[in-house]
Structures are given as structure tokens and as C-alpha cells.
Structure 1
Amino acid sequence: QHAFHHIEQHMDKTPNEYIRWRYAGGEDREAIAKDTMKISDAELELQKTVIDFVYTDPDTAKTTKTKRVIKRLTGERKTNKSTKENDYEVQFKAPHDSDDCKHFYGYKKLVKWGWDKACKKVDVKVAQAASGMFRPLTSSNVESHLKNVGLDAEFATHHRISALSGGQKVKVVLGAAMWMQPHLVILDEPTNYLDRESLGALADAIREFEGGVVIISHNNDFTTALCPETWVVEKDEDEISRPNCRGDPEWMKNALATKCDDQQAITEVTDAYGNVTEIKAKKTLTKKEIKKMTKEIKAKIKSGAELDEDEEAFAEEHELWK
């Protein structure tokens, strides 16, 4: 629903020109401009890392050790046969910036040197190339594409975005998002600004789309008519969120079979990257142990000694700072 801020930066372009600008070079410029892909000051400092580079002359077999700094990633990637991980080609800064000085480094090393986001950009381009979904980015192709989302050529090619209505701008946003032919589409409040005819067309398109669709919407009639699964996530009085699932799939019948509450012991936590952290259960102390710890921690506090995390938690719980 906040996608308008993208096209609002391009009000002087026609929808056709906007899409051709956005995908010029085979990558989505709007995706690159996201906050999550912007290079931080800390990463810029890491990218200045001086690397020890050992070079062996193929003619003389002479080995030379030099200091080099990475200038950029070229966009080439290959799988390392020994590590099974991706290696990325880099170009060094002058005076080692000639084509024969390019070299491949593994992902983990490049992350340490501040090139994580650059690697992700390469991954996206490689995935797009492998999908075979590239289409010539010509004015006629874009015009035809926009017509498929209900924006006639008159508005797609001959009107600036600033002159379009709210509903027409929604069509530009949808058309631009679909140019790379994604497998999964996530729509946040897609019914905003659309008239009845456009809503019907959007509903038909969602039904015919062969990929996955996730819709976040306050329009219950729209989602009920389209979605075989509905997830309503609200906090109960105890402040715990429990999904209220409605739909056809068998697994949803058992979605709430296991009762969850804040008293259940959590043994491990998995983050967004799949890293598993074991959570150690808190030991119940006896009165004797509490008395002993209280004495030891009070002595530490009095002497100004540093407490570890467990000791700080104990001191907080038993109000030993007073």
C-alpha cells in the first residue's frame, strides 16, 4: 500500500518510461534502493580492507605477494568444487584493475570485507538469468504488458504518471511489480483506489495466477471470495498472539491442536537465517543457594566488581542494588 512512494519519484515519466528505467540493466533498481540493500558507513569502511594477494606468473612460475583493495564485484559467480559454496569474481582498485588481475573469493570472506549486499545483488541476477524470464525491454513490449493489467496505451505511453488517477497508478505499480514474472506475489491492501471493475479484474487475475499469492487486507469480502486460507493473527487478553485459521487444507484443522501459552518451556530459538540457539532452562535455587549467592553478589556490588549476566539478573530479581 506504500508502493506509491516509488512512482512518486518519477512523476515526469510515462508508465512505459518508468518500467524501462526500473529494469534497465537486467536488475530491479527499486529493490536495490531498499534500505536493506543500502551500504552502511561501517560496510564502506570494511570495503577498504587491504588484502594480501599472492600471484604466480604462469610464464616464469615466479610468486609475487602484493597488497590489494577490492573495487567492485563483476557479477560473475561460480560454485567452488571443494567447499560447495559460491565464489564471486572481484575487480581490484588501480594499479591492479586490469582484466587479467580479476580473482574469485568465497562468500564468507567477502562478507567479512563488507561485500555481503553486493553478493546478494549478484545472486538475484544469476537467479533471473537461470529462470529464462528475461523479455526485451522495448517500448512496445512494456506497452503490451501494461495493457494486460488494464492500462491502455494512451495512458501507458502517452501520459505522464503525474496525470494519472489513483486507480491508474495502482495499475502501474502492479504492472511494474509483475514485469520480472515472479513466482510469489505479496499484496498489501491491493484494493485501495480500485473501482468495482478493476477489483473484479484483479480478482480474476489472482484466480488465474499459477504462482503463490499472499494478500494482506482489511477488505473481508475480497479475501473471503479469493483465499482458500485465512490467517487472522490477533493478541488475546493475555497478550499472546494465536492464529485464527480458516480454510480448506488439512493441516489447518490441526493448526491450533497444540496449545501454546507463555508457560511452555522454550528449548531453542531459530532466527531468520536458520541459526539455532539453545535456550538453557533456568535452575530453581534452594533457600541455601539463594542466601549464598546474595552474600557473594552483595560483596561484588560493594567492591565495584563487574557482574556477569546471570548475576545481574539475580541482583535485579532480589533487589540487591538498593
Structure 2
Amino acid sequence: MSLLTVRDLRVEFSTAAGVVTAVDGASFEIGAGETVALLGESGSGKSVTAQAVMGIVPRPAGRITGGSIEYDGRDLLAPGVAKGLRGREIAMVFQDPLSSLNPVFRVGAQIGEMFRRHRGASRREARAAALELMKRVGIPGASKRLDDYPHQFSGGMRQRVMIAMALALSPRLLIADEPTTALDVTVQAQIMDLLARLRAEEGMSLLLITHDLGVVAGVADRVVLMYAGRVVETGAVREVYEHTGHPYTAGLLGSVPVVDVSRERLIPIQGSPPDLLSLPSGCSFRPRCRYADALCAEQEPELRLLAGRPETHQAACHHPEGVRTDVVVRT
């Protein structure tokens, strides 16, 4: 049973140059206790999709113009519903903890504020709860660091503070938007391991947003690939990685370094993401695709099941049978 269901979501932004469709008909589901990775390059619509789920699409420029978002049977697009669930049922970890944390308040007070505001805890109770959360997310010497300010923490420790704040009210769905951005590879692994452990302990669902397929290879149950605001491939992580059905996915995999696989060089995707104000005709990925032909220029491919693959594996490509990758990503 799905905890979160997004159907044909469409989000637009008004700009000086015109109306930009940042999310164009995106659909996916997250089951109870499941980890889903939302993947794609910058500008593909990942973070805007998460903002729509949280009910925090920037206004007045941004607006949801179509589709539906349901959480546990409740319509998140109905007035006041998302606001009532935010923090308690659905929480979010943002990609830049330094800008998300208030620089003039001590971290213990910022974590404790969740308990004071939502559960009516006293200062002493909130402080004790904040200390337990800091210990739980692995902050060394937590009792001594309660009264430190955000700038006194490293990037990885600040992200742990953000995760502690998100977990304060025991949400059933945690959205992590680029949680390992600007962290070195060792700290990235620690943060991903932490999220996986907390998900298992809490039994919560996890939506991971990232551009790095390698980061989520051993953590996610399913992946959803987005390009130019559209979902172009989705399926179980191992299935998608080993039997890629879209050239965009193959290109992202080709850009991932793997230490125990012999390759002369990485294989980057040629070209740049399209201008959302003037998308190419047909398939949006066509100008960067080595498999493109006349059909790709005339007709936008629909997301469909791949022949001979599990029912959960879908791709929006006219020629999925021709897509090949020699890349191995450890899952």
C-alpha cells in the first residue's frame, strides 16, 4: 500500500522571460517503509517536486497547475492539509544545512523548539529530548555541543543536526534533498548509512533526492529518474542499474567512477540540459542522445513497461531495447 502517491504533477513558475514548467506530469509512489531515490541533473525538477509534496512551492511565482498528491489517503493539495502534516507526519532535510539553521541560536535550542512548539514541552524537557536526538544521530560529545552555534560544526555534523530536527516528531515520511551535497566521500557514506539505519529503526519511508546514482546504489529500493521535469525511467534499483531502459540513465551511470571496474575514462553525457522555456520537439533528451531518430523528433515518448522486464520497470524511450551500458554500480 502506497504511503505517498504523486500523479501527473505539474508545477509552473512565472519568470521575466515567460512561464517555465519545472515539473511536467511527474508520477511515482512511495510505499510504507520504502526508500525511493529521485534522481537527475540540476534543473530536472527533483527539488520542486519535493517542495510540492511539502506544500512549500515558492509563491507567488510558483504554482501547482495540475495533478494530485495523496499522503495516506489525504489530499495534500487541499487547503491546510500539507501544513497540518508538515513536521509531524512529513519532514524534510534540506541540502544546505548552514543556510537552513539559524546562525544566532544554539543548535540544542533549535532542535528543542520542535518539541516546545508541537508538543508543549518545557525548556528542560525540550533540552533533554534534543540531547537524545543528537546522540542518536551520532554527534560526538553531544552534551557539550548542545550550546554550540551552527558555524562551530563541520558540514557533516550540521547535516546530522538537520536530520535530528527532521526526526524530532517521528515522521512517517522523510524527504532528504541532496543530503550529501558539498561533503567529502567518507562523510557522504556516513550520512547515507545514518539515514538507512534511522529509516530501519523508525520504519519510516524515505525519499532521497540526488543527482548521484552511486550515492543511493546501496540504500534505495526503487529509483525515479527525472529529466526536464518529466519522469523518464523508474523501477527497482538493481533492475534499472543492470538493465537500463533510457539513454539518460545510461549516461548518468557512465559518469559514475567505480574503483573496481576497469575503464579507460568516464563517459559523460554530451551537451547541456535543455532550456525549459524552449524544449526541443518530441523527446526532450533527443539533442543529447546517440539513439535519436526521426520518430524521437516528432513524438514525445510515454512512460511504458519494458518488454521482458518486471512490471515495475518503465522507461519513456522509443528505443529502450537499444540502450546499453557497460557500467557496473555496486548495489
Normalised to the residue count of structure 2, the TM-score between the two structures is 0.38
The structure whose Rg is larger is 1
State the structure with bigger RCO (CA 8 A, min sep 6), 1 or 2.
2
> Which has the larger share of helix?
1
TM-score (norm 1): 0.39
